Amino acid sequence: MVTSLTAKTPVPTGRWRAENFVAGDPALELANTISNRRDPELAEDRIADPRDLADWARSLSLDAGAAPADRADVRRVRAVREAVHDAFAAIAVGREPPRAAVAALLRAAAEGFESCGAAPPRLHAALAWRAITALAALSRDRVGACPACGWLFLDTSKSGRRRWCAMATCGTAEKVRAFRRRAAGAAP
Ligand SMILES: [Zn+2]
Protein backbone atom coordinates (compact mmCIF):
# COMPACT_ATOMS: atom_id res chain seq x y z
CA MET A 1 0.00 0.00 0.00
CA VAL A 2 1.20 3.51 -0.73
CA THR A 3 0.38 6.86 0.75
CA SER A 4 0.58 8.89 -2.43
CA LEU A 5 -0.17 8.41 -6.12
CA THR A 6 2.24 10.68 -7.95
CA ALA A 7 0.43 13.67 -6.50
CA LYS A 8 2.06 16.78 -7.88
CA THR A 9 2.13 19.96 -5.87
CA PRO A 10 -1.02 21.88 -6.87
CA VAL A 11 -0.57 25.11 -8.81
CA PRO A 12 -3.78 27.04 -8.05
CA THR A 13 -5.30 28.50 -11.20
CA GLY A 14 -8.17 30.98 -11.71
CA ARG A 15 -10.15 31.44 -8.52
CA TRP A 16 -8.67 28.39 -6.84
CA ARG A 17 -6.34 29.01 -3.91
CA ALA A 18 -3.66 26.92 -2.21
CA GLU A 19 -5.96 26.40 0.80
CA ASN A 20 -8.47 24.61 -1.46
CA PHE A 21 -5.95 21.80 -1.97
CA VAL A 22 -5.14 20.09 1.31
CA ALA A 23 -6.09 16.46 0.59
CA GLY A 24 -2.79 15.17 -0.77
CA ASP A 25 -4.45 13.08 -3.48
CA PRO A 26 -6.38 14.30 -6.54
CA ALA A 27 -9.32 11.94 -5.95
CA LEU A 28 -9.79 13.27 -2.45
CA GLU A 29 -9.30 16.83 -3.67
CA LEU A 30 -12.34 16.31 -5.88
CA ALA A 31 -14.52 15.48 -2.87
CA ASN A 32 -13.30 18.69 -1.24
CA THR A 33 -14.56 20.96 -4.02
CA ILE A 34 -17.64 21.36 -1.84
CA SER A 35 -16.69 23.40 1.19
CA ASN A 36 -18.10 22.57 4.60
CA ARG A 37 -20.28 19.59 3.73
CA ARG A 38 -21.31 19.24 7.36
CA ASP A 39 -23.06 22.59 7.49
CA PRO A 40 -25.62 23.10 4.71
CA GLU A 41 -25.66 26.84 5.42
CA LEU A 42 -21.93 27.17 4.80
CA ALA A 43 -21.58 24.51 2.09
CA GLU A 44 -20.53 25.94 -1.25
CA ASP A 45 -20.04 24.06 -4.49
CA ARG A 46 -16.85 25.49 -5.90
CA ILE A 47 -17.27 23.80 -9.27
CA ALA A 48 -20.01 26.11 -10.46
CA ASP A 49 -19.26 26.17 -14.19
CA PRO A 50 -16.94 24.74 -16.87
CA ARG A 51 -14.33 27.42 -16.18
CA ASP A 52 -14.13 26.42 -12.49
CA LEU A 53 -13.76 22.81 -13.51
CA ALA A 54 -11.09 23.50 -16.13
CA ASP A 55 -9.11 25.67 -13.69
CA TRP A 56 -9.42 23.06 -10.94
CA ALA A 57 -8.14 20.32 -13.25
CA ARG A 58 -5.30 22.54 -14.42
CA SER A 59 -4.37 23.34 -10.81
CA LEU A 60 -3.78 19.62 -10.26
CA SER A 61 -2.17 18.97 -13.67
CA LEU A 62 -5.11 16.69 -14.55
CA ASP A 63 -6.09 18.50 -17.73
CA ALA A 64 -3.42 17.10 -20.06
CA GLY A 65 -5.07 15.32 -22.97
CA ALA A 66 -8.61 15.86 -21.65
CA ALA A 67 -11.33 17.38 -23.81
CA PRO A 68 -12.26 20.99 -22.95
CA ALA A 69 -14.83 21.05 -20.13
CA ASP A 70 -18.45 21.92 -20.89
CA ARG A 71 -21.70 22.03 -18.89
CA ALA A 72 -22.28 18.30 -19.25
CA ASP A 73 -18.79 17.69 -17.84
CA VAL A 74 -19.65 19.77 -14.78
CA ARG A 75 -22.72 17.56 -14.21
CA ARG A 76 -20.77 14.35 -14.72
CA VAL A 77 -17.83 15.43 -12.57
CA ARG A 78 -20.22 16.40 -9.77
CA ALA A 79 -21.75 12.91 -9.91
CA VAL A 80 -18.28 11.31 -9.76
CA ARG A 81 -17.45 13.64 -6.89
CA GLU A 82 -20.36 12.35 -4.80
CA ALA A 83 -19.31 8.73 -5.43
CA VAL A 84 -15.74 9.61 -4.45
CA HIS A 85 -16.97 11.31 -1.31
CA ASP A 86 -19.25 8.43 -0.29
CA ALA A 87 -16.50 5.87 -0.88
CA PHE A 88 -13.70 7.65 0.96
CA ALA A 89 -15.82 9.12 3.76
CA ALA A 90 -16.75 5.51 4.61
CA ILE A 91 -13.10 4.46 4.52
CA ALA A 92 -12.17 7.40 6.77
CA VAL A 93 -14.38 5.95 9.53
CA GLY A 94 -13.17 2.39 9.00
CA ARG A 95 -16.07 1.13 6.88
CA GLU A 96 -16.08 -0.51 3.46
CA PRO A 97 -16.93 1.87 0.61
CA PRO A 98 -20.64 1.56 -0.33
CA ARG A 99 -21.17 -0.75 -3.28
CA ALA A 100 -23.28 1.86 -5.10
CA ALA A 101 -20.43 4.37 -4.91
CA VAL A 102 -17.86 1.91 -6.26
CA ALA A 103 -20.25 0.84 -9.05
CA ALA A 104 -20.82 4.48 -10.03
CA LEU A 105 -17.05 5.04 -10.24
CA LEU A 106 -16.54 1.93 -12.36
CA ARG A 107 -19.32 2.97 -14.73
CA ALA A 108 -17.92 6.48 -15.07
CA ALA A 109 -14.38 5.19 -15.62
CA ALA A 110 -15.61 2.79 -18.32
CA GLU A 111 -17.08 5.73 -20.25
CA GLY A 112 -13.51 6.91 -20.76
CA PHE A 113 -12.83 3.88 -22.93
CA GLU A 114 -15.93 4.06 -25.10
CA SER A 115 -14.38 6.33 -27.70
CA CYS A 116 -11.47 3.86 -28.07
CA GLY A 117 -8.91 6.61 -28.42
CA ALA A 118 -10.86 8.42 -31.16
CA ALA A 119 -11.48 11.36 -28.83
CA PRO A 120 -9.73 12.57 -25.70
CA PRO A 121 -11.24 11.11 -22.50
CA ARG A 122 -13.77 13.25 -20.67
CA LEU A 123 -12.56 14.57 -17.38
CA HIS A 124 -15.16 12.73 -15.28
CA ALA A 125 -13.96 9.39 -16.66
CA ALA A 126 -10.33 10.21 -15.95
CA LEU A 127 -11.23 11.30 -12.41
CA ALA A 128 -13.28 8.16 -11.77
CA TRP A 129 -10.38 6.04 -12.98
CA ARG A 130 -8.08 7.90 -10.62
CA ALA A 131 -10.46 7.36 -7.73
CA ILE A 132 -10.60 3.61 -8.41
CA THR A 133 -6.82 3.47 -8.49
CA ALA A 134 -6.75 5.34 -5.18
CA LEU A 135 -9.33 2.93 -3.71
CA ALA A 136 -7.09 0.03 -4.62
CA ALA A 137 -3.72 1.52 -3.76
CA LEU A 138 -3.96 4.00 -0.91
CA SER A 139 -3.40 2.94 2.68
CA ARG A 140 -6.90 2.96 4.12
CA ASP A 141 -5.76 3.75 7.64
CA ARG A 142 -4.25 6.95 6.26
CA VAL A 143 -7.50 8.30 4.81
CA GLY A 144 -9.06 10.80 7.19
CA ALA A 145 -12.01 13.19 7.38
CA CYS A 146 -11.85 16.55 9.13
CA PRO A 147 -14.26 16.41 12.09
CA ALA A 148 -15.15 20.07 11.60
CA CYS A 149 -15.83 20.46 7.87
CA GLY A 150 -15.87 16.91 6.50
CA TRP A 151 -13.04 17.42 4.02
CA LEU A 152 -11.11 14.29 3.22
CA PHE A 153 -7.35 13.97 3.29
CA LEU A 154 -4.51 11.53 3.06
CA ASP A 155 -2.42 11.57 6.22
CA THR A 156 1.19 11.49 5.08
CA SER A 157 2.57 12.60 8.44
CA LYS A 158 5.12 10.40 10.14
CA SER A 159 2.98 9.98 13.23
CA GLY A 160 -0.21 9.24 11.26
CA ARG A 161 -2.19 11.43 13.67
CA ARG A 162 -3.39 14.18 11.37
CA ARG A 163 -6.85 15.25 12.50
CA TRP A 164 -7.78 18.42 10.59
CA CYS A 165 -8.06 19.38 6.96
CA ALA A 166 -5.79 22.30 7.90
CA MET A 167 -4.54 23.47 11.26
CA ALA A 168 -4.80 27.09 10.11
CA THR A 169 -8.56 26.85 9.56
CA CYS A 170 -10.52 24.04 11.23
CA GLY A 171 -7.79 23.15 13.74
CA THR A 172 -7.49 26.69 15.05
CA ALA A 173 -11.25 27.28 15.07
CA GLU A 174 -11.75 24.15 17.14
CA LYS A 175 -9.02 25.18 19.59
CA VAL A 176 -10.69 28.57 20.04
CA ARG A 177 -14.06 26.86 20.65
CA ALA A 178 -12.48 24.47 23.17
CA PHE A 179 -10.79 27.40 24.94
CA ARG A 180 -14.13 29.25 25.17
CA ARG A 181 -15.85 26.15 26.50
CA ARG A 182 -13.20 25.77 29.19
CA ALA A 183 -13.33 29.49 30.03
CA ALA A 184 -17.14 29.36 30.30
CA GLY A 185 -16.92 26.28 32.50
CA ALA A 186 -14.39 27.97 34.79
CA ALA A 187 -16.46 31.13 35.19
CA PRO A 188 -17.97 31.65 38.65
ZN1 LIG B 1 -11.81 21.04 8.10
pTM: 0.88
Decide if 1 is inside a domain.
no
Decide if 8 is inside a domain.
no
Decide if 9 is inside a domain.
no
Cα of 38 from ligand 1 centre, angstroms? 10
Q: Is the Cβ–Cβ distance between 127 and 106 less than 8 Å? A: no
Q: Which CA distances in Å does 165 have to 10, 24, 72, 155, 174?
A: 16, 10, 30, 10, 12
Cα of 82 from ligand 1 centre, angstroms? 18
- The residues near 136 (Cβ < 8 Å, ≥ 6 apart) are none
Decide if 93 is inside a domain.
yes
* Pairwise CA distance, residues 71 & 75, whole Å: 7
Decide if 24 is inside a domain.
yes
Decide if 13 is inside a domain.
no
Q: What is the domain extent for residue 82? A: 18-186
When divided into structural domains, the chain yields a total of 1
Cα of 73 from ligand 1 centre, angstroms? 27
pLDDT of the chain, 188 residues: tens digit per residue: 444 455 678 999 999 999 999 999 999 999 999 998 888 888 899 999 999 999 999 999 887 777 788 999 999 999 999 999 999 999 999 999 999 999 999 999 998 777 666 677 788 998 999 999 999 999 999 999 999 999 999 999 999 999 999 988 898 877 788 888 888 876 55
Q: Is the Cβ–Cβ distance between 152 and 92 less than 8 Å? A: yes
Decide if 168 is inside a domain.
yes
Q: What CATH number is given to the structural domain containing 165?
A: 1.10.3300.10
Using only the alpha carbons of the chain, give its radius of gyration. Answer: 18
Cα of 144 from ligand 1 centre, angstroms? 11
Decide if 173 is inside a domain.
yes
